[in-house]
């Protein structure tokens, strides 16, 4: 992948990671251990591998942006989400450690944590409105895919030049990390 990207586009300055394996959500006592392993691999290990492949060139340039897509779920801990949350929490640990290790090279590492976001699939099916979800969000609605893209674009820009190690919820206030 690195060779193809470098051949077609050159060495990337901005890396956005957004991978997660799909599985059936079940209560922890019924969730197969393999689902925890797959979530850790797709969220945490995937970020380790991407960092190892692409960050050396960023270090050489003394500039770069790493932006990972997390989820509001990591702060909710809803029933049936334990494997997903565990994988994303592992990703958080990897990324915060990475932010400390590579910051001196002027590379930032941040996370965007979407809420339940409206996508093209929702628009096509007419399922944008979800009253059971919307009623608990302070803004009383789901976000749009463009809301997530705008947060990523901000963190990738020079406007976020002095922001690193951030977990940025983009969820209408559905979660509000404390200090």
Whole-angstrom distance between the N-terminal and C-terminal Cα of the chain?
39
| Closest by CA position to 73, among listed 39, 34, 29 | 39
Cα 73-51-46 angle, rounded to 5 deg? 45
Pairing of strands 64-69, 107-114: parallel
Coil, strand or helix at 128: coil
Dihedral pair phi/psi, residue 14, rounded to 5°: -125, 130
Q: Which of 23, 36, 84, 133 is catalytic?
A: 84
The yes-or-no answer on residue 84 being catalytic is yes
Q: Active-site residue numbers?
A: 84
């Amino acid at each position: 992948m690195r060779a193809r990207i470098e051949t077609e586009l050159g060495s990337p300055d901005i890396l956005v990671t957004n991978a997660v394996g799909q599985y059936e959500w079940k209560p922890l006592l019924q969730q197969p251990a393999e689902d925890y392993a797959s979530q850790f691999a797709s969220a945490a290990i995937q970020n380790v591998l991407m960092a190892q492949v692409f960050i050396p060139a960023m270090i050489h340039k003394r500039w770069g942006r790493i932006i990972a897509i997390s989820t509001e779920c990591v702060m909710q801990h809803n029933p049936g989400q334990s494997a997903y949350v565990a994988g994303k929490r592992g990703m958080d640990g990897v990324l915060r450690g990475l932010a400390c290790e590579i910051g001196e090279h002027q590379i930032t590492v941040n996370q965007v944590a979407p809420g339940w976001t409206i996508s093209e699939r929702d628009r096509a099916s007419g399922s944008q409105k979800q009253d059971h979800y919307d009623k608990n969000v302070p803004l009383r609605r789901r976000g749009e895919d463009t809301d997530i893209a705008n947060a990523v674009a901000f963190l990738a820009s020079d406007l976020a030049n002095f922001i690193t190690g951030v977990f940025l919820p983009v969820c209408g206030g559905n979660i509000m990390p404390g200090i």
